[in-house]
Amino acid sequence: MMHFSLAVRLLVLPLSLLAADVRIGPDKVFLIDGARSFPIGFTTAPPPDGKTPDGRDAYAELKQFGAVYHRCGVPPQTPMPEALRRIEHMLDRSAATGLLCAFYLPHIAATDDSNENELRRVVGKYRRHPGLGYWKGADEPEWGKVPVEKIQRFHDVVKSLDASHPVWITQAPRGAIESLKAYDSAYDVGAIDIYPIGYPPGAHSHLPNKNISVVGDYAQWMSEISGPAKPFWMILQICWSGVTNPGKTLRFPTFPEERYMTYQSIILGARGLMYFGGNVTAGMNDRDKALGWNWTYYSRVLKHVLDELKPGSPLHPALIAPDSKIKLDVDGATDVDVLVREAGQRVFVLAARRESATSEVKFTGLPEGLTFDRVLYEEPRRPKVFPGGFSDWFAPNEVHVYVFERRPSAAN
């Protein structure tokens, strides 16, 4: 289904003025045409004219499960005229489906005197395209030793011409907080990619933690690097070279693993998510190779995770809410990450355990006037609820989402 605000623009504006307005609110929530959004994306999505295994439009399939954007780019060796033709087709198809492109042209993603004029021409041409959502700078610039000055210049040129679309860069899980922080002024949206599932585990990370909770470690990095004003995304694994290159053993995240990495990212501050590797051919079976995307993994695992997050889901109001001032104390475990969000009369508590042994965990600090509603996606499960808190069991890498309702007498 087409995004409502996009549909309105298509009805009332000429093509040259059909541009999504993408802003970042003071609470780090994304505003798309003024509507609060939790962006879910893919790098990369299926081919622009792709179909699902049952013949439906591929972009439309992703849209119905909450997809907002995807990286629209080409390999660096693609000649410029062909690169722009291909990206423009992605923009057109995205606009028709209600998706937004993160425009990525490697030829100009790091800017100096040699390509600034070309960057200005490209931004001027596409800044009003209805399929444009973000501009993407050079990929993993700190690891690739791309000078900060080139990334900063890309950001400054883009923003001087287009204030309606943020600049995004993704860093590799390498370097140090200080070396990554050097790029902080060169983007509006930061991100880090981390793919911990493989044999042996943790090969993609340079941190001591080789478990899948390393995703949370890097989310904490990004929170510190981006600071209090800028949102960040986490780039999570479908498939990557570390499980497909010669000598490697193919492995995908299971549903519990993908769900855990997704929720841990959200709990530790991510204001959007992107899933990497659906287009990695070496991870596809023959049917999916013919379709150009890993629909098998999507249908078995990923769409069930996204179903919990999509607009209209019971969790979605919490994803677009500011962080709550409610702070919970956790007893019985030192490795439970927890987030509180308030949306309307509901208080959401998202909690995810890392890898320690199964035990009962106690949460205290809930305000008066709340009644327990449910554990999302686990009904009729109930925790032990008592005045000011609750307790529940957590196994390694287990996630629970608790919902409490404010009683009418406690509502303001």
Residues sharing a CB contact under 8 Å with residue 318, sequence separation 6 or more, in sequence order: 341, 343, 346, 348, 350
Number of other residues whose CB lies within 10 A of the CB of residue 335: 15
Give dist(CA 220, CA 105) in Å, integer. Answer: 29
- pLDDT tens sequence across 1-10: 344 344 434 3
Give dist(CA 182, CA 180) in Å, integer. Answer: 5
- pLDDT tens sequence across 187-221: 999 999 999 999 999 999 999 999 999 999 999 99
Question: What is the model's pTM?
Answer: 0.94
What is the CATH topology of the domain spanning 329-410?
Immunoglobulin-like (2.60.40)
Q: Are 348 and 401 in contact (CB under 8 A)?
A: yes
pLDDT at 346: 98
For the chain, the domains span: 4-319, 329-410
What CATH class is the domain 4-319?
Answer: alpha beta
Helix, coil or strand: residue 19? coil
Q: What is the DSSP letter of 351?
A: E
Q: Residue 50's Cα: distance from chain center in Å?
A: 22
- pLDDT tens sequence across 243-298: 999 999 999 999 999 999 999 999 999 999 999 999 999 999 999 999 999 999 99
Give dist(CA 313, CA 326) in Å, integer. Answer: 23
